[in-house]
Amino acid sequence: MSGSTQSLADVAGKSVVEDSADVVIIGSGAAGATAARVLTAAGLDVVVIEEGHAIPRDGFRQDAYSAFKGLWRDFGFQAARGRVLMPILQGRAVGGTTVINGAIMHRLPEKVHAAWERDGAIDDLLSYPGLEATFDQLDRELSVGPAPEAVLGQNNALMRAGVAGIGAKGNLILRNVKDCEGSARCGQGCPNGRKQSMHLTYIPQAIAAGARVYAACRVSKVEIRGGKAVAVLGEFRDPTGDARGPRIRVVAKRAVLLAASAIQTPVLLMKSGVRGGQVGRRFQSHPGTSVMGVFDDKVNMFFGATQGYETTHFWDERMKFESVSVPPEIAATRLPGFGADLQARLARVGHVAQWGVQVRAEAHGRVRPGITGGASVSYDLTNADVARYRLGVKRLVEMMFAAGASEVWPGVHGLPTRLTSPDQARALDTLDDDPRRFHFIAAHLFGTAAMHRDPRAGVVRPDGRCHAVDGLYVVDSSLFPTNLGVNPQHTICAIAWKIAERIAQ
C-alpha cells in the first residue's frame, strides 16, 4: 500500500483533516524520517507531520536568499541570545536539516558513548555494538563514503595540505552523497539530487510503505489524556506566506514521536503541558567560526564538495576543523571591508578559501516558547569555550599559511583585518575571552529533552519514552545527554532507528 504527501493545496476547502495511525511523528528530518522508515518497514501505520514545504527534487536551483526563505527556519535569521547574537541554522522542509546540511556522517565517538553509559543516561538499547550495526546499515542505505577526489575541489584540497603542514592528521569527510557533482551548494539544497537527504531516501521509502506525510502543517500541541499521548493537533499554514488551511487532528493509537529538533521539541513538550524539570534546559551546541585565506592560484570554492575535508586531530581539546564552501552571497558577507576595498576583494573571491572550527562547547543554554510564537533560545559561551576559539582560529591561520596562503583574514575583532604571516596569529594568545570578538554560527543542537534513567536528571528514559507521559517519545537530538564534538546526523539517525525498532516490537 502506497502512502502520500499532502500539502495546503491538497486539503484546500476542508475545515478539518482527521486521520489516525499507529504512530504519529512530528518532524521529517534525520530522526523523524529514519523512525518512519523503520516503523513502516515493520508494518506499522505511520503519519509524519512537517512544518516546512515538500520541495520536488528539481526545486533547488535557487539563490541563497530564496533558499534561506524556503528551506531554513526563520530564513536562517533565528538567533540565540547571550553576550553575542548567534545565528542558529536549522532546516524547515520535508527532510528537515538534512536538506540543507553538509552531508557529513560521523559515528558517535566511543568516548562520548562511554560517558553517557557511565552517567546512567543510556542502557542496553543503545549498546555500542548495536549502534555499530545500525551505523553500518545506514552507511549502506544512505551511500556513505569519503568525498570523491574527482569533485573534491581546491578548498578541500588546500585544507588537506594545511592540516598536513601543521603536523596534524586529517581525512576526507564521509558523506551521504551518490555521484556528487561538486556544485558546492549543499546549503541551498542539492540542485542535482545527489545528497542523500531524507526527502530523497527514507521519506519516499516510508511513503512507499504506506506512510502519509502532511507538509506545510504546523503542530500546536500533543493531546494528552489520562497521562497518555493520544493525538496530535495542528494547522496547515504556508511557512513562507499568508495562506492558511484546515486544522488537523491525528489520533495516535500507539505512540507520538517528537522529532522536531532540540529547539522545537522542548517547546512542543511545554505547550503540551510537559513542563518543569529538565525540559528546555541543557541546550548544547557546536558553535563554529571561520577563517578565510587568499591564495595566488585559483581556489574557486564554488566548485567541489561543500565540506570535503576535516581533522579530528584535536578532538580531545574539544575542537574539530572542517572546510566550508559557501555560496557567493555568504562568502561576500565574510569578506573584510566596504566600498572599493570590498569590491577589490570580491573581484578576487575565486582565490579565497574558507575553513572553520567547531567547538564542543561546555556552555548550557535554555529553550523556552517565544513571546510571539516560535522559540526563544538563551545561550552564552563560557570563557573556556572562547579560549578554545582563540586557539582554534590560531590553528586555522597556521593551516592557511602552511597551505600557501598569501594573506589570511581571521575575522576577529582586535586582530588586524589582514594577516601576512603566521606569527601575527600569536596576538590571539593575548586577547581576552570575550565572545564578542568572534562571529559564531550555531549548528548541531542537543540536550533539551535529555534521556536519563532518573526522571530528575532527564526528560525521557533511555528508550526515548517520556518519563511523565505514556506513549510520548523523543527521538531527535534533544535526547542526547551531551554534545558530541562531531557532526550528529549519523548518530541522530542511529538512535532514532534503535528507538523505533523498540517501539515496533
Catalytic residues: 444
Judge contact between 204 and 2, C-beta under 8 A: no
β-sheet bridge partners, residue 244: 237
β-sheet bridge partners, residue 250: 19, 232
Phi, psi of 203 (to 5 degrees): -65, -50
Q: How far apart are CA 501 and CA 505, in angstroms?
A: 6
Closer residue to other proteins, CB minimum distance, 63 or 149: 63
Q: Is 226 in the site for other proteins (CB under 8 A)?
A: no
Judge contact between 238 and 455, C-beta under 8 A: no
The DSSP secondary-structure symbol of 75 reads G
For 371, what's the count of Cα atoms within 13 Å in the CB-facing half-sphere? 0
Q: Coil, strand, or helix at residue 358?
A: strand
Judge contact between 270 and 368, C-beta under 8 A: yes
Binding residues for other proteins, how many (CB under 8 A)? 45
In the complex, minimum distance from the CB of residue 349 to other proteins, in angstroms, rounded to a whole number: 6
In the complex, minimum distance from the CB of residue 356 to other proteins, in angstroms, rounded to a whole number: 17
Per CB under 8 A, contacts with other proteins among 22-61 are 61
Q: Is 150 in the site for other proteins (CB under 8 A)?
A: no
Q: Is 64 in the site for other proteins (CB under 8 A)?
A: yes
Q: What string marks each residue from 358 to 377 as x (binds other proteins by CB under 8 A) or -?
A: --------------x-x---
Q: What string marks each residue from 189 to 218 as x (binds other proteins by CB under 8 A) or -?
A: --x---------------------------
β-sheet bridge partners, residue 413: 415
The helix-helix angle for 128-141 and 489-504 (nearest 10°) equals 110
Closer residue to other proteins, CB minimum distance, 76 or 458: 76
Name 230's Cβ contacts closer than 8 Å, sequence gap at least 6.
223, 224, 251, 252, 471
Q: Which of 433, 61, 5 is nearest to 208 (CA)?
A: 5
Q: How far apart are CA 150 and CA 29, in angstroms?
A: 29
Per CB under 8 A, contacts with other proteins among 326-345 are 327-330, 332-333, 337-344
Q: Which stretch binds other proteins (CB under 8 A): 13-21, 67-75, 219-227, 267-275?
A: 67-75
Closer residue to other proteins, CB minimum distance, 292 or 495: 292
Closer residue to other proteins, CB minimum distance, 64 or 451: 64
Per CB under 8 A, contacts with other proteins among 381-420 are 413
Per CB under 8 A, contacts with other proteins among 462-491 are none
Residues near other proteins, by CB under 8 A: 61-66, 68-69, 74-75, 77-78, 83-85, 183, 185, 191, 240-241, 302-303, 327-330, 332-333, 337-344, 346-347, 349-350, 372, 374, 413, 436, 439
